[in-house]
């Protein structure tokens, strides 16, 4: 096992596994508690438009996906507050438009997009040093926001009415939460791809939530669970020559089923 760490791509993959687990564990916890999983899916698919734009203008697709994701997050928030369009309808529209733009941009781009599939389904073994630096920067932003505004996010996640009465700007912090989801999507794309992002955002917090109820320890254990089993899935995909994103998601799914069984058995024995 140690010898494979001599390869730069494997060291990058391990570092990426840790970085995505930090973002996924922290933001995914709030996504699960707030019950906005579908919104996360909408933002992730809208990001495909940004990826396509990157291919079209010849820059790193991750960089162009960032503004697309942030704009989609803000669009959902604006639609929720200022229009008669329901939130799920706005998500559906942005989801479709983002994917359509991505397809159009890729088709218009000169040449062939050789690594497009890695953005759709993930390829942690192809993560570059530039990708790592982007992940570190976005992780620091997410950690900083949660550190400074933890109480506000906690109030908005658990009880918006109480937060409003307490003087917290629910609209602002809800929009900020969606923007953090957007940043998490960017971090997760290279590891599990657009199609499987929801799984990595939600499965670790769901596993942890079966045993933990308070938000802060729930975030911590979500990060730990995500790190441990993302790395496990990475090694399984390497040794058995399997798609990395799918293997990571299936590994987490197996762990979830085991944890659900353990929880049920412990409840029945009381």
Higher-confidence residue of 137 and 80: namely 137
- Provide the pLDDT for residue 3: 64
Sign of the alpha-carbon torsion through 109, 95, 222, 243: negative
Q: How confident is the model at residue 137 (pLDDT cuts 50, 70, 90)?
A: very high
- As to burial, measured by CB atoms within 10 angstroms (0-12 exposed, 13-18 middle, 19+ buried), residue 149 is middle
User: What is the model's pLDDT at position 32?
Assistant: 92
Q: Is residue 135 part of a domain?
A: yes
For residue 158, pLDDT over 60 is answered with yes
Burial label for 153, CB within 10 Å (0-12, 13-18, 19+), is buried
**Is the pLDDT at 223 greater than 90, yes or no?**
yes
Report the pLDDT averaged over residues 209-213.
Answer: 89
From CA 243, how far away is CA 122, in angstroms rounded? 8
pTM above 0.75, yes or no: yes
84 in a structural domain: yes
Place of tokens 């959902």: 76
Its domain, for residue 223, covers 2-260
Count how many domains the chain has: 1
- Alpha carbons 79 and 93: distance in angstroms, whole number: 11
- When the pLDDT of each residue in the chain is averaged and rounded to a whole number, the result is 86
Quick one: how far is CA 84 from the chain centroid? 28
114 pLDDT exceeds 70? no
Asked if residue 204 belongs to a domain, the reply is yes
Pair of tokens at residue 8: 């730069």
Q: What is the mean pLDDT of residues 173-190?
A: 89
Specify the range with the lowest mean pLDDT, choosing from 80-89, 125-134, 235-244. Answer: 80-89
Higher pLDDT among residues 208 and 113, named by residue: 208
- The verdict on residue 267 lying in a domain is no
The string of pLDDT tens digits covering residues 20-59 is 999 999 999 999 999 888 888 888 888 888 888 988 888 8
Q: How many whole angstroms separate alpha carbon 91 and alpha carbon 39?
A: 6
Mean pLDDT to the nearest integer, 163-177: 89
**269 is a domain residue:** no
CATH of the domain at 65: 1.10.3470.10
Q: Report pLDDT for 257.
A: 94
Give a yes or no: residue 209 inside a domain.
yes
Q: In this structure, is residue 268 part of a structural domain?
A: no
């Amino acid at each position: 096992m140690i010898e494979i760490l001599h390869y730069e791509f494997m060291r990058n993959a391990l570092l990426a596994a840790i970085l995505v687990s930090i973002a996924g564990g922290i933001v995914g916890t709030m996504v699960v508690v707030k019950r906005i999983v579908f919104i996360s899916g909408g933002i992730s698919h809208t990001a495909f438009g940004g990826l396509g734009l990157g291919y079209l203008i010849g820059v790193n697709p991750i960089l162009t996906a960032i503004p697309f994701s942030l704009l989609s997050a803000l669009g959902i928030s604006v639609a929720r507050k200022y229009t008669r369009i329901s939130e799920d309808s706005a998500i559906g529209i942005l989801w479709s438009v983002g994917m359509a733009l991505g397809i159009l941009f890729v088709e218009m781009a000169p040449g062939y997009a050789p690594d497009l599939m890695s953005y759709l389904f993930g390829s942690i073994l192809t993560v570059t040093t530039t990708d790592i630096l982007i992940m570190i920067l976005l992780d620091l932003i997410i950690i900083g926001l949660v550190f400074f505004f933890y109480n506000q996010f906690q109030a908005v996640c658990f009880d918006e009415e109480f937060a409003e009465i307490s003087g917290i700007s629910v609209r602002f912090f809800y929009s900020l939460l969606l923007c953090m989801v957007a940043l998490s999507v960017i971090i997760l794309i290279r590891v599990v791809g657009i199609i499987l992002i929801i799984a990595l955002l939600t499965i670790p917090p769901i596993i942890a939530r079966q045993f933990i109820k308070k938000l802060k320890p729930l975030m911590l254990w979500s990060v730990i669970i995500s790190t441990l089993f993302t790395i496990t899935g990475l090694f399984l995909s390497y040794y058995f020559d399997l798609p990395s994103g799918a293997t990571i998601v299936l590994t987490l799914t197996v762990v979830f089923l085991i944890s659900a069984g353990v929880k049920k058995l412990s409840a029945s024995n009381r």
